[in-house]
Structure 1
Amino acid sequence: MSTSERSSALTELARLGFGRLAEAETELAELEIAVGIDREVLTAQAGIAADPDAALTGIVRVARRNADAMRSVLEHEQGRRAAWGIFGASSGLADFFFRHPEELVHLQSVGSGLPSSGELTDGLLDAVGAVDGFADRGDESAWVALRVRYRRYVAQIAAYDLLSADPVEAVRAVSARLADAAGAALEASLAVARTRISTGIAGAGLFPRDSVAATKLAVIGMGKTGARELNYVSDVDVIFVGGADEDVLGQLGESRVIDIATRLAVQMMRGISGVEIEPPLWEVDANLRPEGKQGALVRSLDSHLAYYDRWAKSWEFQALLKARPIAGDAALGEAYVDAVQPKIWTSAARENFVDSVQRMRERVTEHIPSGDVAYQLKLGPGGIRDIEFTVQLLQLVHGLTDDGIRQRSTLDALDALVAAGYIGRTDAAAFARDYRILRLLEHRLQLEGLARTHLMPRTPEGLRVLARASRLADTADGIWELWESVKREVRDIHVRLFYRPLLSAVAALPEEERVLSQAQAHDRLAAIGFRDPAGALRHIAALTSGLSRKATIQRHLMPIMIRWFADGVDPDYGLLAFRRISERLGNSPWFLRMLRDSSAAAESLTRVLSGSRYIGELMEWIPESAVWLDSDEQLRPRTGRAMQEEARAIQTRHDTIEDAMRSVRALRRRELLRTAMGAVLGVLSIEEVAGALTTITEVTIQATLRAVWRDVVPPEDSALDFAVIAMGRFGGAELGFGSDADVMYVYNPNGVEPQRAHELSLRVVSELRRHSEDHRLPLDLDADLRPEGRNGPLARSLDAYAEYYRRWSLSWEAQALLRARGVAGSVKLIKAFMALADDVRFPATVDPQGLREIKRIKARVENERLPQGVDRTRHLKLGPGSLSDVEWLVQVLQLEHGRSVEGMRTTSTMRALEAAQAAGYVTDLESERLCAAWRLASRLRSANTLLSGHTSDVLPTDRRQLDGIGRLLDYPPRSATAVEEDYLGTTRRARRIFEKLFYG
């Protein structure tokens, strides 16, 4: 060969993937001579090999021993493809063919299919000459024949696997056939065992042949074997069940039968994994049997069942999930599986079952050597076990009532779980894809040395070979990046699903609530608190009927949600509102996913709907708000800046004031709903609620004023200044749900003709009030606290206010100004008005006559303003010791001391009270009791509105309503009396302090 020809040949070898070019050139020359086939033909399929150098070395090694056998394979194209594929991916199979080159001939016929389960069983029984359950010989030669035949089939399966067009998709079929081969090997080994113990070979024992024939031994495949998901080299987990017909038991006795069955099991295991001339196949692991290694190897069916009834732990039922008869007496095996099935599918109802499974998964991870964690395909985070444990836990929990998901195979179970709606399509598809990829990597790693391993290679060369063998990547870096991305995705889905709180809730359902007849359901609904069980049944039927995915998911959720609704104040309304919201949202994927995947969100939804008509009615109009329940952060108030920016954007988009205000009203409703949900769910404190409600009202008024100003005030009058002043609880940033917004309106002509300025301001006020109206969620801009009250003009100029306060101001008007605060309009005008207000509300000297007048007015208000027929002690605003008592007392203190105590110059009742306490005007105890009364009355007032959806200042007498209000305030169920007593006691103590300090 010339230099150029040699260079060209070496280049071609490099293109095919060879690395040791000189050695490959030498070995190819030797092989060409040995088998008499041209090198071009020999190397045409070499690129198939994961490691062409190792493949060629292995082929040459076998050819040196038996050139004819190797020629018989390489002279056929399909044989050459199989040889390059197998020898390049598996040194273990290369060693097998070196030991048994005569087996190479069977690679000639390897085509596109796999050997069938029947072929495997027939072939392995034929290898040991089995007839009627006994082998034709019982010595070691039978086991050697069995192992050689088994590896022949593994080579055929491997050839199919390595040459398949889509190795990821082939994983399912390959794993199933490997499991079938393992079952067939156990069946053949059992035939040898029967012969051994009935002929007394080599200490195997000696029993009469008819006694051995009459003894039944069922081999139950567990784990991957039972699920038909076996690896190339894996422990085969089994459980042995022994028995015999009644007449045989009567003749031999159960003890003798179990003794024979035990001897059969021991010999059968030795045939598979004992040390013989031909290496063992794999370990037969019987440690999943009752009592593990300490327990009897073989038990009768009754003994198994007695153990499971009395002693079995939760993990043992999880292991039984995959149980399947794989060898031995089929009828006894089926009887075992049929008997344990009900125990498997009720095991999730055990106390703390879900927690125990979750903890078991964590222990598996904890026991991995730290240096191996990053390489663990099977046990590490994001590995195969994460997928298997997740799927099994979902099966065991939901399989309590749904037999459609009772599958052995992980992939079959995933298909069933997604069809039934227990897992989302996206997550299921990712899990299935990732599971196949991980199993493919595991197969390729084990195939290489026919050794049990689950660790990714740690060298670039090992990763490169794995990439070529799996065909999942082209380079070492590529396969590692794929492995890392799969791990991240699997771990993310595993954590979300495996630790889903809903699993614990479903598992904890009482048995009688899992499946109920119509009559039973009616009675059950009535018993747990539904006042209209027939109506509830209609709603449930509407939600769960049909074949849609939505109906399927609702069927799974409904038993749990019904219990949650029943725990609420008004389960009937809650269920009705849930139905309406579900119908509004239709098949929205995010809603169904949230209900299924976030039990915290689902439970929160039932809580707010059954506890608050205010929320339920708003959610019917804003159903997409349900998404906030998945995160406490989304239930926190948005900032005023964020809402202002949205409001301004709204007004930019809309040309007409009607369109703009429709969107502003929608913004207000949405943010009020967010705040209400946060309040009911305990995310927000009373101070945060008051602040949020105040900010929402401010933003609404500001946005409305901008829209109205643009519509009412012509450009030539734009110099006019106008402002809205918040008063009362609005000015104090102390709004509750249902509170009016007390306001005053002020303007400054700024060069605009005074009468024109006054008329424009009144038009602005009129339009402001008209466009702020909301029939669904009223916003009452109440201007009754203006000078002269209802008899005074709605808007005044700054100068008119100054003149009025200088000449005619009454004491109550100065008192009202204590909570005045500018919230909308001209900043310059607001600043000027607040300076004017400070002179009135914080005078240099206090008028004793004015204070006496305020006290007289307070007494008159108590006598005249209370609604007729209302128990004054239950009025949350005007009753003794309630809001008005605390607020009037604090305001008198502010009028007296505000000029000298800076901290008391605030619109906030509570901050002013704290400043008065710090200055010594009230004692610590007095301040504590006044604060407690004000806070409790404020909370009760808001809770009353949230519960009923209507504003009321009276503490209800109805026990059910009182209990509902208490629940909103975090009292335990049935606390109506406690709520009432707490309020009456708190206000009595506050009233005594009020009378002492206010009138004394």
Structure 2
Amino acid sequence: MSLPALATLPATLDFLALRAEQTLQAAFAELSTDAAARFAAWAGSRQETLRRVTAASDFVVQQALRDPQMLLELAESGELERPLQAGELRAQLAAQLLECEGEDELGRRLRRFRNRQQLRIIWRDISRQADLIETCRDLSDLADSCIDLAYHWLYPQHCAQFGTPIGRRTGQAQHMVILGMGKLGAHELNLSSDIDLIFGYPEGGETEGVKRSLDNQEFFIRLGQRLIKALDAITVEGFVFRTDMRLRPYGSSGSLVFSFNALEQYYQDQGRDWERYAMIKARVVGGDQQAGEQLLEMLRPFVYRRYLDFSAIEALRSMKQLIQQEVRRKGMAENIKLGAGGIREVEFIAQAFQLIHGGRDLSLQQRSLFKVLTTLEGQGYLPAAVTDELREGYAFLRYTEHALQAIDDRQTQMLPDNDQDKARVAFILGFAEWSAFHERLMHWRGRVDWHFRQVIADPDEDLDNAEEEVVGGEWLPLWEDVQDEAAACRQLEDAGFADAPAARQRLAGLRSGNQVRAMQRLGRERLDAFIPRLLAQAVEHDNPDLVLERVLPLVEAVARRSAYLVLLTENPGALQRLLTLCAASPWIAEQITRFPLLLDELLNEGRLFKPPLAPELAAELRERLMRIPEEDLEQQMEALRHFKLAHRLRVAASEIAGSLPLMKVSDYLTWLAEAILDQVLALAWRQTVAKHGTPRRADGSPCDPDFIIVGYGKVGGIELGHGSDLDLVFIHGGDPQAETDGVKPIDGAQFFTRLGQRIIHLLTTQTNSGQLYEVDMRLRPSGASGLLVSSLGAFARYQESEAWTWEHQALVRARVLVGSPQVGREFEAVRAAVLGRERDLNALRTEVSGMRAKMRDNLGSRVTAAGTAANAFEATSPFDLKQDAGGIVDIEFMVQYAALAWSRKYPELLEFTDNIRILEGLERLGLVPGEDARLLQEVYKAYRMAAHRQALQKQPGVVSGDQFHAERRSVLRIWRELGLN
């Protein structure tokens, strides 16, 4: 966002500069000889700047002529050449209001101060000593200071007359809260803007300290009226700020001031979409700041919905249509704020994303448009090229707006219709002539309007023939049930439905179902607009019957939250991706039906089919949680669950699309679990430490956190599937006996147990977004009867002297997922020592074979004796991919046997925990023939790929017995050759 260039003063404006110079000299001469000399000395060194400003702005000349002393003071103070420091402007006004007596004097001092600052701000803007951000900030600070200091001057006067307002509930003195809306709320005020305010007060009650008390509301209404008069009334000194109160509840017909309860009730029950749009930028600009923040927090759920809210686009589109009608009616096409490609369209783009996504993505809950655009780019909502154009276009439009208003301090966004002001505007913007400026302006308006249409415009608007029917319109009669049954079935059959009566019945069931019958008018209109689009896209698929069967439950689930229907109506690409994924996987269809917020993931095709790598995953989750207050546990838990759901969907979508092979699917799902566990551990640690203090190590130093989460099974082996649970073991390195240092101290053993319980609670608690993971802790020392968390020493002792062979087999796949690096290294040393000890191979083979036999007996397919009977290879028999003979567990047991048998001599076998890389090591070391090792790897991947497919089809990991004949026989052959039986 660059400053407009400085242009040479054109000859057409020379006479204005000359006339201003002469009149100013005369005014200073009339003031005093000394003043004239001081002005001449100052102006002599800044002649070019003085000529620029006075030629461009009648307001500056008029104010200097009205009060030459003010210009001289500004000049000699250096304020025209430097930016003000934070708080400096307020301090100056506070000094001006000291010893102010009477409301008339208050009004005079406020107006003089405003005119002084307005002159300074316009001077710095035209002379390009201030950029757009500084100008808007100074104007907003000026408004804040005038509003708040005027209020605090009036309040004690008002209390002396009518008593002090006291809250009925708290018994505390009450102050008014003044909310600044629109550009004031966002610190984006323009040079001649009015200010939109809303007044509130915390609670009802009466005034005290006078004979005749007033109701609190009446007290604040009268106070509000006095404040408006102090700011808005036009006197010989002008005005401070034009004050608009029409954004308050019920508009001009509503009470001037409302209690917090009344405001909350109004917005909850009657708040309209445009009021949500307005409330995005609301900020406390005066009165009780602390109470004001509480009010904004109360109103936040009205503004930002926790679900995806694509109804916001409809509302913004309707608002834009009303504005366009007004523009056409009043002939305001040249209005750079309201016309096509104007300032309002950039604001609408940003606020559309804020209203749609801001309830879940807290980074969008900002007021500043520039900051929102940066977030939209950073979070991937808009490409950098788009946000760059919007940022540059908006800045150009705002600079133009300021140029229009700087001329005469007049509230206008209309391009001038006279040559003199055209020359001024072009000159202020750095152009030699109007035509060059206007060409650039129209370029930016064109780009803004194009981007606006991509976000806000109706999806049917870009049809070549404006009279063409809406997409899917041919299906509307069928949906509205105005056809007879035969005609409806014929239309469905012709479109490719195999079972037309069933499809028609499904649609009829939806139409007459309780969810749809209970819909309000607006929701029903949205459903009626969506179903024809759904049918039009469904018939493009090979199996439209299946698409309809899987998608209609989702439609029914979201019928009462019709914003989701708007999302799909507004985004044909998202609807297409939804149907494709649901047709491919009933598991995905069920996930989206249970958690419709996942529809958000369908909006960005590039992101949907390209899940991030492990570091990006972890960073994204950290960033999300950083935006949530530490004390808001509910939001943190929801954010974790949504993150998991969203990324798990992206992995499944990528697998279906073929962009992610099996091994990468497991990698991503494992990385996802690790990123979540890392943040869950951090949350649980903070909460447990906050309650009990920090535990100690044996040397007395504080733990930080000296705790690890060890993953076993699939998560340990980096082989997670779509519905896998987590096999976890918790280990700590603290002193079990030493007490924590908090106000409620407990010993270390208790602390880490409670930490472990907290972790499990965060992982397994059911919320609106489900649970994070099912957790299995049975692999900890002594199983379900053992301690939830073991010290590292206790874990080592158990593994060395008490653990069974099958527990050592499980340890082969164990690895540290998250936690203390030091304790992690110590765990790895224990693991290596336990697994690498000398073993009797005959005894080992017997124990591994015995455990495998028990598992086959208990978990394998009974009708084929776990795949060992003669009928095991028949098409009518089942083959359990995991448990039957020749299946996944046989391969895992062989790998574990090999690691236990040979890792003492070859410790490098313990480097990895996944079967594929352990098999690579066995081949490299010559412990297993290369052909056999590679065969086991390929078979293992084939089994797992089949199990993934089954999971995505919501089927158990069982296929027909006529599959994988060669693979199963090969696995059993290698099993026997290893001496297992």
Q: TM-score range by the shorter chain?
A: 0.3 to 0.5
Higher relative contact order (CA 8 A, sep 6+): 2
TM-score with structure 2 length normalisation? 0.46
Which one has the largest radius of gyration? 1
TM-score with structure 1 length normalisation? 0.46
Q: Which has the higher helix share?
A: 1
